[in-house]
Amino acid sequence: MAFSELAYKALQDILGSENISNDPAICQAYSRVQWLPSGVLQRERCGLNMRPACVVMPGCTEDVQRILQVANRYKFPFVPRGSGFTFSAFPTQAGTVVIDPKRMDRIIELNEKDMYAVIEPYVSFVGLQAEAMKCGLYTPTPLAGSQVSCLANYAWHGAYGNSWITGIGAQNLLGFELVLPDGEVVRSGSMACPGAGSFWNDGPGPDLRGFLRSGMFGHAGGMGVVTKISCKLWPYAGPAEFPCEGTANMKFSSSLGENWKWFMIKFPFAYPEEEELELRKSAELFYEMGKAEIAEVATHLAQQFLYTYSSVTKQDLFDNMKNNVFPSGFCVVALQGKTSPEQLAYEERVLRDIVKKVGGIFVAEDEPAYQVWIKRAANEWIRFGNAQRLSRSSDCFSIGSSNVDSIDQIVYEILESNRLGRDLLKDEGLGKDFVQPLSINGGWISPQEHGYWCLHTTDVFPEQAVDQCNQAMEIIGRVTKSMFARKSAAAAIHMIGPAYDFFGPMMGDVHLIVKGLKREFDPRNLSNPGYASRPDVVSPEELAKMMGGH
């Protein structure tokens, strides 16, 4: 449906002419997602339909309500977004309005005693982090980088450098305020109760976070617009502020002070020939650390992350690969002395006991791997997640496989996806033009909440060319097909958008439940229609084809 002039005028009356634009030049900046192969292909497929009919900038919740009321009156679709990074933050059909929250950028409250903050959609992690650190607290920092919207990340998906402690985005969200697709506001948690403050999440009664979010992802704006959240902050024993070391200290990242200690641990196995042994030993390390309840960071980084995140320039990245700085994956552990120096010392002794027990070896400080990772990237892993440096190698990347389950199952999934990736490369040449060996040597193990569960992603690094992006999608499709064939837990998390129709029947007809909720709350299908269970981007038939008729 074309976006009507009447609708535009109504929005203009609400927001003021300076906060709305349908100028093609303005709208062009909201039309492109390039870092993902699926984004590239989405662009190819949807073309100019990805350019919104107009962009609106609400300044408060009431503005958002009115925008959505106008949307319902004139029946135009809208897409809410945070910083607009991820592939779901873009229109997929003509006549869509993008809601840019840039004017809603307040940290409304930062409660040092009760360790939470209340924020609006355009507050970035980096701003919140700076304020939190002043109070002896800190936020998790997403791998996408702290320049992204904290609210959007928690409502959508986020994994963090310190997930060993914090869990993922879902675990960091407290209460929220949501403008439903019809323009009504609902608040959850203590935020819903007058005078109760915003410190808590569940209830009253059922926890509406269960409605807002799902699995790895949220509904990508398919159930309305989140206009406020409260979120967790975590005890932090590092510097409140960091000196400006600019001139862009390209080699070393600021120390987190004497209450933090970093370690890298390796295992004496040949890589990639003995990859399985290395991963299983890493798993054993994390299981023991979980039982001992030590550490602030515990993760296994594969070459993919090690090279990209520690790189200073693209040439540096490729030089490091050429020089085999990271001949394998490594486990990275950080200890934080939150209780006392004695606690830090104790945890180090225990870590050494565990490493010895599982047959690990501490990487010496003068080894290239330590110098490059710990000195350059480790502290950034905590402070702000390294930003989009994952793209650095080929200016594009995609998650090739992902899983959430136990540490052992994550190791299993990594091995399967690496094996499959290598087979596809060898037998069919899929990915031959990608950055190798980065694209077949995945192995990010991210244990969560002291190892009670675990997350991984392995990525592929094509260039931003349609044929390579198609190859990337083919690889992803084959991996997904393999997950279902193997009945891997990984299959349970790939539920977003068109995947619902295809996979839903295998999972208790969940697609019908989600579609039912979508119909209930958004009967006109106006709230990000492409991403809440409607197959507008990839049809079930195409998905079936990708899955090889599985």
Partner 1 sequence: MAESLQTVQELSGKVADIAGSGRVFTAGDMLDKYAANAGCSRTVRPDIVAQVSTREQVQALVRLANEQGVPVVPRSSATGFYGGSVPEQGGIVIDMSGMKKILRIDPKNRWALIEPGVTYGELQAGLAEKGLTAILPLAPHPDKSVITSCLEREPKLTPKHHLDETIMTMELVLPTGGFFHTGSMAVSQEPPEKVQEEAHTDLCNFMGPGLDWFRLVPGSLGTYGIVTAMNMKIGIKPILQKLVFFGFKSLKEAVEPWYYLLRKLIGDECLLLNSRYLALLLAQDDGDIEKLQAALPPYTILLNLAAGDYRPEEKIAYLEKAVQDAARIFQLQPMEALPHAQDGAAALQGILSKPWDNGAGYWKWRGRGASREVFFLTQLQRAPEFLSELQAAAAAQGYPLADMGLYLQPKQNGRAFYMEAGFPFSSGAPSEQARADAVHAAASSRLVDTGAFFYRVYGPWTELVYGRTGNLQKTLQRIKRTLDPQNILNPGKLGL
Partner 2 sequence: MAIEKIEYDATHCQRCSTCKWSHLWEVKSHRFARNCPSLVYGKFDTYAAQGKNDIVTGLLKGELTWEDSKDRLLEIIYRCPVCAACDVSCKRVMDLDIIGVLDALREEACEKGHGPLPAHREFIQSIMNYDNVWKQPRNRRAGWAKKLDIKDLARAGETADVLYYVGCTYAYKPGMETVPVNTAKLLKAAGIDFGILGAKEICCGGIADNVGDKKSFEEIARKNLDMFKATGAKTIVTNCPGCFMAFSEKYARMLKIDTAALPYTVKHSTQFIAELLQAGKLKFTKPLDMTVTWHDPCHLGRRGEPYRHWEGKRVKFGLTEPPREMNRGVSGIYEAPRAILKAIPGLRLVEMERIKEYSWCCGSGGGAKSAYPDFALATAKERVEEAEATGAGSIVTACPWCESNLSDGIDASGSRLRVEDILDLAVRAL
Site residues for partner 1, 377-416, by CB under 8 A, read 403-409, 412-413
Q: Which stretch binds partner 1 (CB under 8 A): 139-147, 286-294, 367-375, 457-465?
A: 286-294
For residue 134, the number of C-alpha atoms closer than 13 Å in the C-beta half-sphere is 7
* Residue that the structure tokens 């031959």 belong to: 432
Site residues for partner 1, 106-125, by CB under 8 A, read 111, 113-116
Q: Which stretch binds partner 2 (CB under 8 A): 4-12, 118-126, 169-177, 332-340?
A: 118-126
Q: Is 51 in the site for partner 2 (CB under 8 A)?
A: yes
* Between 516 and 548, CB nearer to partner 1: 516
The conformation of residue 191, written as its DSSP 8-state character, comes to: G
Q: What are the CA-CA distances from residue 206 to residues 209, 292, 328, 546 (Å)?
A: 9, 33, 46, 38
Q: Which stretch binds partner 1 (CB under 8 A): 22-30, 40-48, 291-299, 306-314?
A: 291-299
Q: What are the CA-CA distances from residue 518 to residues 21, 37, 525 (Å)?
A: 29, 28, 7
Q: Is 277 in the site for partner 1 (CB under 8 A)?
A: no
Helix (H, G, I), strand (E, B) or coil at 278: helix
Site string for partner 2, 400-439 (x = CB under 8 A): ---------------------------------x-x----
CB 458 within 8 Å of CB 414: yes
CB proximity list for 133: less than 8 A, separation 6 or greater: 236, 238, 239, 240, 241
Q: Which stretch binds partner 2 (CB under 8 A): 356-364, 391-399, 477-485, 541-549?
A: 391-399
Among 45, 75, 103, 422, indicate the residue that binds partner 2 (CB under 8 A).
103
Q: Is 417 in the site for partner 1 (CB under 8 A)?
A: no
Among 388, 406, 536, 542, indicate the residue that binds partner 2 (CB under 8 A).
388
Q: Is 391 in the site for partner 2 (CB under 8 A)?
A: yes
Could you tell which of partner 1, partner 2, none binds residue 199, using a CB distance below 5 to 8 A set by kind? partner 1
Among 35, 160, 260, 373, indicate the residue that binds partner 2 (CB under 8 A).
35
The secondary structure of 138-164 as a DSSP string is E---BTT-TTSBHHHHHHS---BTTHH
Could you tell which of partner 2, partner 1, none binds residue 276, using a CB distance below 5 to 8 A set by kind? none
Site residues for partner 1, 57-116, by CB under 8 A, read 111, 113-116
| Euclidean distance between CA atoms 529 and 94, whole angstroms | 12
Q: How far is the CB of 261 from partner 1 (least distance, A)?
A: 15
- Torsion angle, CA of 485/491/495/497, rounded to 10 degrees? -30
Helix (H, G, I), strand (E, B) or coil at 174: strand
Q: Is 28 in the site for partner 2 (CB under 8 A)?
A: yes
Q: How many CB atoms lie within 10 A of CB 201?
A: 21
